[in-house]
Amino acid sequence: MVNTKYNEWLLKATEDPDLLPELQAVADKPEEIRDRFYRELEFGTAGLRGVIGAGTNRMNIYTVRKATQGIADYINETYGTGSVAISYDSRIKSDVFAKETARVLAANGIKVWIYPELMPVPCLSFATRELKCTMGVMITASHNPAKYNGYKAYGSDGCQITSETANGVIAAIGKLNEFDSVKLMDFDKAVEEGLVNYIGEEVYEAYYANVLSRSINADVAASSGFKIVYTPLNGAGNKPVREILKRIGITDVVVVPEQEYPDGNFPTCSYPNPEIRDALKLGIELCEKTGCDLLLATDPDADRVGIAVKYNGEYKLLTGNEVGVLLLNYIASQRIAKGTMPKDPVAVKTIVTNELTTRICEKYGIILKNVLTGFKYIGEQIALLEEKGEEERFIFGYEESYGYLAGTYVRDKDAVVASMLICEMAAFYSAEGRSVVDVLNELYDTYGYHLCTQASFAFEGEQGMANMKAIMEKLSADPAKEIDGVKVVEFSDYQAQVTVDMVTGEKTAITLPKSAVLMYTLENGYKAVIRPSGTEPKIKFYFFVIEKTEEEARKGEAALKESFTKLLTI
């Protein structure tokens, strides 16, 4: 089967000049052929994601076309007709894949709205809602290394698609061949005939207006004289982030020159992820040179943002958990002070996100919702409020992986509104003679030092995927009774949808959707969560430790991490 597919691609994959030489180069390398053809890229609620190259297990124009034909068939069968919004980031071939997506949709009679330039994830989510589209497509691999690209699918609500929709699309894709089953239309002809339309300035302005509506102390930001270093990490955030900062009066913004313009090779960092210090190295150096107050860094599709803050003469990187807690505390305290807090306010976080959030919500009378990992689940909570006409009750949602949202105008994480609020918050506290680190330390002094860390373990290739599955099955079937000499008092299996009291044996149903997530709660209050990544060949560990001091917390976390790492054996 693998060789049959390989030979088919040798004959038919002729439109992209990069693919045939790659296929010919592996002709005498059966393992290389197998890696490209042993499976098709899996389409799920996160869409597609994979290495760019030739084969069914790669991102290329043929896998993109096939996925899009499946979406087109699903839309036409389910709705009779429809429209789709498209955006793309700076990754290699993102613009090509976006146009190929538009060509297939247009050939199937589906109206397309496409941005005339690269734009972030939140702008795609917004356009899908604003233009009342049936679905949306974002061409991106988020913060993965340069060799990756991907294809995120969105529903009409602006959230990434549900399992039900994904299953419908998967069924449609399963009937197709990537060469013979795909309808195509010339892009320029589709534009000429009105099947493909460019998204206009009015949509940009509507998005900016919605972001600005989330500002609480813009006047303080404008008068602060705050100095910012910003890096879009060669991605899509450069235009919208700088525009929104200008509109709240922060004009002293220095952009890291080597990372300013779109470049899918990401030449200054192997991993364009604002969670990683190496990606922020040039930004921190520029901060030190210019004496700026704050570093902002958005990832290539500008849905995540990381920061470094000047504190005691140095630049301290804050985690996604820390920034999320700070933003929630700032939004809640300031909205209460200004009398704009809604009745029964709601905040949403994922189950792998900081428990300090719970303490902040208790302080301000906020209803906290815990959801599965994935921002679409935060979006779903907004939709539930929207159904009751109560969407304004939602004040903030975030996940530990540097994704934040204030407002209901989009249903995915938004680094543009987060950048605005981070700068505004920092300027506000600065006017009071405090830094955001001072405020964070005050929270730790009050509630204990909440340390949340993560570890990832890669499982590349076909065997790696099999090993991941085997490890998760083993951990589910035989949960650990103790870790590092400390009893496990509670074990939650989100795939089996059950929590087990390891002391009494009592079982409690989990009402969240099924997901390959395992959670351990220890007798000392420490927690650990294990899950396979939804977008990369990795198993991720999340560790949660609460102690009186940072030193004690880091010591406890190190022991917890060492013990759980030992579980990664088959």
**Active centre residues (catalytic):** 142
What spatial distance separates the first Cα and last Cα of the chain, rounded to whole Å? 29
Distance (Å, rounded) from C-alpha 362 to C-alpha 339?
A: 18
Q: Which helix (H) or strand (E) holds 370?
A: strand 367-371
Task: Look up residue 419 and give its DSSP letter.
Answer: H
Q: Is 189 helix (H, G, I), strand (E, B) or coil?
A: helix
Distance (Å, rounded) from C-alpha 475 to C-alpha 568?
A: 9
Amino acid identity, position 333:
S
Q: Is 246 helix (H, G, I), strand (E, B) or coil?
A: helix
**Which tokens hold the place of 167?**
């299953």
Q: Which helix (H) or strand (E) holds 36?
A: helix 30-37
Task: Look up residue 56 and give its DSSP letter.
Answer: T
- What are the DSSP calls for 468-507, one per residue? HHHHHHHHHHS--SEETTEEEEEEEETTTTEEEETTT--E
Helix, strand, coil shares of the chain, percent, nearest 5, are 40, 20, 35
Distance (Å, rounded) from C-alpha 478 to C-alpha 499?
A: 14
Distance (Å, rounded) from C-alpha 442 to C-alpha 325?
A: 12
Strand locations in 71-223 (E): 83-88, 111-114, 135-139, 148-155, 196-198
Q: Rounded to the nearest 5°, which phi and psi values hold at 381?
A: -65, -35
Angle at 40 between CA 34 and CA 45, to 5 degrees: 145
Distance (Å, rounded) from C-alpha 275 to C-alpha 27?
A: 39
Task: Look up residue 266 and give its DSSP letter.
Answer: -
Distance (Å, rounded) from C-alpha 333 to C-alpha 371?
A: 24
